[in-house]
Chain A
Amino acid sequence: MKQEQKTAEKTPAILTKLLLFSSFLLVLPHIGQLNTLFIVFSLTLLLWRALAMRYPQCLPKKILLLPTAVLLVLFVLKEFNMSLGRDASSSLLIILIGLKMLEGQTKRDAQAVIYIAFFILITPFLFDQKITQALYSLALFFILLIALIINNSNISKITPPAFIRITGLILLQGIPLMLVFFIFFPRMIGPLWALPDDVSTAVSGISDHINPGAVSNLALSEQTAFRVQFKGQQPTQQELYWRGPVFWKTDGQQWTLSKPPKLPVEINKKIADNRQTYQYTMMMEPHQQFWLYSLDTPIKAPPHVELTGDFQLIAQRKLSRNISFDMSSSTHKKLTSLTSDDKHRALELPDNTDPRIKFLVKQWLEQSKSEMDVINQALQFYNQQFYYTLTPPSLGNDPVAEFLFNTKRGFCGHFASSFAILMRVAHIPARLVAGYQGGMYNKVGDFYTIRQADAHVWTEVWLDNSGWVRIDPTAAIAPDRIQHSIDVNQHQLNGEVKYLLTAPEGLNKWSKNIGSFVHSLDYYWQNAVLAYGPETQLDFLSNVGITDWTQMVIWLSIISGFFVLLSLTSLFISRREKNDPIQKLYLSFCKRLAKQGGSRYPYETASAYFQRVAKKYPSKKQALKKIEHYYLNARYGHGSIESLKQALKRFKHH
């Protein structure tokens, strides 16, 4: 009965205000991430509740609210084809909190609102895990804890100092425990259940097909694709070719992925023998694709990742989370054999190759003695007549021919795809490689940031005496592009391709330094927090000898148990209950006396107790009287502690 009374109590206005405030703040990060319609729904419900604070009569009737809630939920589910993925559940939750705010007036309802709010708190991270969002959520978490306290204490007006102190204390005690859980809680590879494909998961990055103009939308994006930290030797800027997907197949319009060749075992050995290797750690942002990037030729694939015959790294699942892995690569060409099957694929031409192309290549072939001569002729052709721009004219049905003979303006996508076609016409096996070129070095954190703007496409051709060789036709036209990164801001200002060339000075230098600092902060965040997943966890914990999840669970229990014990002992160290020395002496004497004359009742005064003992042992009456006198004098009068000590000492000899 009493509990019902308690939970039926109305929430104080201050709590309703606080809950409305935090609900608004919870919906805010979802703007731009979720369907605007649902955000409008949620905000409308919250605004309605806010209005009702002033005009209580406009609160909806419960009979009306329930069907509205059911309809809204069904509507959201229908929009997402009845599947509860990231977008669907986030949308549902922000609408649910609005409905619950409107419906509930009692303490129990407020408790439910706060629980929903805790859940909403983690949903923005499913979209983006920035530091700023983490700090924002932490502040909201703090406010929600305070709301919980207000809801569970019987106050009508707020007394923030006490509650803020208590919340702060709980948070400070909770953080170490959270860290223990974060580090030791066993992480699993792969989802518990299949995730529905969320529409807005489409992230920028290189896609699984390339057409000549494909990379232009990336070229101006400052977004980070991945970060790299080298151990020991660092390659030069020109060597920073980050290989991604390799394309063998083209229909004349675009290049598409096909099943990559298997890696022969003996090749694997040969690469490992190569001395010229770079050791580095890759930290990749989720890009919703199967492939991973690596510097030039990777030597060994990370666990659960396949290294293919054309040196792609293919993961078992699409990369939907931040990961980090250690790699070693070689930038030196490897001589491997080309199977007839692969050779056939690397020479395949689209059905309708323009005769002008064939004619051009025929001219080159006549003038050349070797394959290398043909390549040089082609590069020269580009160098003399072509122009590098990020805003090329659009191309029609036969983009390669149109580009080569009409527009002659373009960037890496145009150059590489047309070059590969030219090579194939000249009967030189060629393939297209997509990836990134370059990277910005961060002095503060000693790492490279590779942005989407560094996306690049180049070709690899097969030469009989040196194997697959990287030929980057873009370098022939715009060598600066290979040596420096594109200055995105400059390009946006005046549409010209400028490169990050000289070291900035003065104010620019300062802003650049601050920029490096922020970037390296982001890097550590990425490296230490976001990329902490199944692989990194095992890697990290194996340093202390923990190698499987049962051990993790055991250590998790031991350490968190230790934390609980530690906090419990703090309860027993009391600051105010220290007895004064006189009382200590008295109490220890009472203990001694208890062995002979029975223990003192807690309510007994010194005189009453001593009298009782003296009745039992009349011989000690005098001594006890003295002790009583000195004790009372020392404790309450002006007597010294020394005389009490002496009296106690004398009693010993009795």
Chain B
Amino acid sequence: MALTLRERFSFRRFTQGEPPHHHTIKLNHRRIFILPSKAGLALAVVILLMLFTAINYNNSMAFVFTFLLAACAQVSTLSSYKNLSSLDLTLTKTGPFFAKSVNELSFLVKELKGRERWAITASYDKQAFTFNLEPDQTKTIKLPFTALKRGWYQPNTLTFSTRFPFGIFRAWSPLLFKQSILIYPKAINSVFSRPVMNDDDKQGEFTSEQSGADDFIGLKPYQAGHPYRHINWKAFAAQKGMYSNQFSSQSSAEYWLDWNDINHLDKEARISQLCYWVLESEQQGVHYGLRIPSTEIPPGQGSAHQHLCLKALALA
């Protein structure tokens, strides 16, 4: 991907990274920057002192070793660069996560040059992890992070850096990924009971056959999202395949989680409450629909349905 001249000389490149990139990012000379570290500046002072000594005594061998130290320090930038370059980085797990909980951002690092890599630090939001790589190794790096707000989360700059070999230079590469991460709202139960479950006035909407809630009515092929406790393990054990038990209540239990039922809460609290109910309903294996001002999701069940509901809430 070519950079415009303006992008090429923008200061952002050095701190935050180039404009976000969608896929795998390869670390190369364009993305890696090198500057002396604090320890490097300290070494510069030592070299200067040594140089003064050499000049003062006009001592050839003192000159030789002072210059040798300076030259090796200079040349070590190449090793720093080689330690970091030609790594492929991919953002692998992109959520969804829940807001305000500790999540793990996970990256795939792939060594491309058949070289050993030492002490590479991946840091994200003040969290850092240091690792080594074997030649041609692919490694998953997980960094904890917390998203505070629901909705689309744009990952910040992920920085890969190294002080190898001498600790006097820090080579770093700031990376921005284009992938957005969906953050579900935080589930908070502030009402404690679903009004729809207990309120008789709502019977019209809530068409549950409470008495026969667990009547077995037959089997249907297992699909992802069916509750685990409904799996017919007998059939599975007999190697007949995966089936889910069907109960009469399941097919008929159908209710709406409605925005307007919890009028007394403010917007974020309502969203958190609805989120809690969605998770609870899904766990109980009932059919539920979601009604919020922006959308209405007809009753359904399963992880895909749950995701649909939570996404709607996240973006509400």
| A residues neighboring B (CB under 8 Å) | 1-2, 5-6, 86, 89, 107-108, 111-112, 115, 118-119, 121-122, 125-126, 129, 133-134, 137, 141, 145, 148-149, 151-155, 162, 166-167, 169-171, 173-175, 177-178, 181-182, 185, 187-189, 191-193, 195, 320-322, 529-534, 564, 567-568, 570-572, 574, 576, 602-603
Chain B, 65-86, contact with A by CB distance < 8 Å: what is the 0/1 string? 1111111101110110110011
Tell me which residues across on chain A come within 8 A of B165, comparing CB atoms: 148-149, 152-153, 166-167, 170
Interface contact B75-A154, CB-CB below 8 Å: no
Could you say which of A89, A153, A187, A571 contacts B82, with CB atoms under 8 Å apart? A571
Point out which of A152, A177, A193, A570 has the most chain B C-beta atoms below 10 A from its C-beta.
Answer: A152
Point out which of A162, A177, A533, A572 has the most chain B C-beta atoms below 10 A from its C-beta.
Answer: A177
List B153-207 residues whose CB lies under 8 Å from chain A: 163-167
Expressed in whole angstroms, the Cα–Cα distance for A530 and B54 within the complex equals 12
| B residues neighboring A (CB under 8 Å) | 1, 22-23, 29, 39, 42-43, 46, 49-50, 52-72, 74-76, 78-79, 81-82, 85-86, 112-114, 116, 118-119, 121, 123, 126-128, 130-132, 163-167
Interface contact A149-B50, CB-CB below 8 Å: no
Closest to B166 in A: A148
Expressed in whole angstroms, the Cα–Cα distance for A169 and B85 within the complex equals 18
> Which A-B residue pairs are the 5 nearest by beta carbons?
A152-B167, A177-B71, A174-B71, A125-B61, A174-B72
Q: A111-B39, A154-B118, A192-B52 are in contact. Are A134 and B61 (CB under 8 A)?
A: yes
Could you say which of A171, A532, A571 contacts B78, with CB atoms under 8 Å apart? A571
Closest to B130 in A: A154
Closest to A122 in B: B62
Interface contact A148-B75, CB-CB below 8 Å: no
Interface contact B163-A119, CB-CB below 8 Å: no
Could you say which of A121, A192, A602 contacts B23, with CB atoms under 8 Å apart? A602
Expressed in whole angstroms, the Cα–Cα distance for A568 and B71 within the complex equals 15
Closest to A186 in B: B55
Tell me which residues across on chain B come within 8 A of A5, comparing CB atoms: 128
Q: Kindly list 6 other residue pairs between chains A and B, CB separation below 8 angstroms, not including A119-B50, A322-B60.
A: A141-B68, A149-B165, A167-B165, A195-B56, A321-B58, A576-B112
Q: A170-B75, A177-B75 are in contact. Are A534 and B58 (CB under 8 A)?
A: yes
Tell me which residues across on chain B come within 8 A of A193, comparing CB atoms: 56
Q: A118-B46, A149-B165, A188-B55 are in contact. Are A571 and B62 (CB under 8 A)?
A: no
Interface contact A181-B43, CB-CB below 8 Å: no
Interface contact B78-A125, CB-CB below 8 Å: no
Tell me which residues across on chain A come within 8 A of B55, comparing CB atoms: 187-188, 191-192
Tell me which residues across on chain A come within 8 A of B43, comparing CB atoms: 115
Tell me which residues across on chain A come within 8 A of B167, comparing CB atoms: 107, 111, 148, 151-152
Expressed in whole angstroms, the Cα–Cα distance for A564 and B76 within the complex equals 11
Tell me which residues across on chain B come within 8 A of A181, comparing CB atoms: 63, 67, 70-71
Min CB gap B243→A, angstroms = 38
Q: Is the interface of A mostly helix, strand, loop or mixed?
A: helix
Interface contact B42-A115, CB-CB below 8 Å: yes
Expressed in whole angstroms, the Cα–Cα distance for A320 and B172 within the complex equals 47
Q: Is the interface of B mostly helix, strand, loop or mixed?
A: helix
Q: A191-B57, A576-B114 are in contact. Are A152 and B164 (CB under 8 A)?
A: yes
Could you say which of A107, A175, A533 contacts B71, with CB atoms under 8 Å apart? A175
Interface contact A166-B79, CB-CB below 8 Å: yes
Interface contact B164-A119, CB-CB below 8 Å: no
Expressed in whole angstroms, the Cα–Cα distance for A570 and B62 within the complex equals 30
Expressed in whole angstroms, the Cα–Cα distance for A151 and B43 within the complex equals 15
Interface contact B118-A178, CB-CB below 8 Å: no
- Could you give 7 example pairs across A and B, Cβ below 8 Å? A108-B39, A122-B50, A125-B62, A170-B76, A174-B68, A530-B60, A603-B23
Tell me which residues across on chain A come within 8 A of B22, comparing CB atoms: 603
Min CB gap B89→A, angstroms = 14
Expressed in whole angstroms, the Cα–Cα distance for A378 and B66 within the complex equals 59
Interface contact A178-B113, CB-CB below 8 Å: no
Min CB gap B61→A, angstroms = 4
Interface contact B166-A155, CB-CB below 8 Å: no
Expressed in whole angstroms, the Cα–Cα distance for A574 and B112 within the complex equals 11
Closest to A568 in B: B78
Interface contact A162-B78, CB-CB below 8 Å: no
Tell me which residues across on chain A come within 8 A of B75, comparing CB atoms: 170, 173-174, 177, 567
Expressed in whole angstroms, the Cα–Cα distance for A167 and B69 within the complex equals 12
Closest to B81 in A: A571
Tell me which residues across on chain B come within 8 A of A572, comparing CB atoms: 29
Tell me which residues across on chain B come within 8 A of A129, comparing CB atoms: 59-61
Expressed in whole angstroms, the Cα–Cα distance for A238 and B91 within the complex equals 87
Tell me which residues across on chain A come within 8 A of B53, comparing CB atoms: 89, 122, 126
Expressed in whole angstroms, the Cα–Cα distance for A154 and B131 within the complex equals 8
Expressed in whole angstroms, the Cα–Cα distance for A343 and B1 within the complex equals 92
Interface contact B66-A122, CB-CB below 8 Å: yes
Expressed in whole angstroms, the Cα–Cα distance for A534 and B55 within the complex equals 10
Could you say which of B1, B65, B74, B127 contacts A122, with CB atoms under 8 Å apart? B65
Closest to B51 in A: A185
Tell me which residues across on chain A come within 8 A of B112, comparing CB atoms: 576
Q: A2-B128, A148-B167, A152-B163 are in contact. Are A529 and B64 (CB under 8 A)?
A: yes
Interface contact B49-A119, CB-CB below 8 Å: yes
Interface contact B63-A182, CB-CB below 8 Å: yes
Closest to B129 in A: A2
Q: A154-B130, A177-B74, A576-B114 are in contact. Are A532 and B60 (CB under 8 A)?
A: yes
Tell me which residues across on chain B come within 8 A of A89, comparing CB atoms: 53
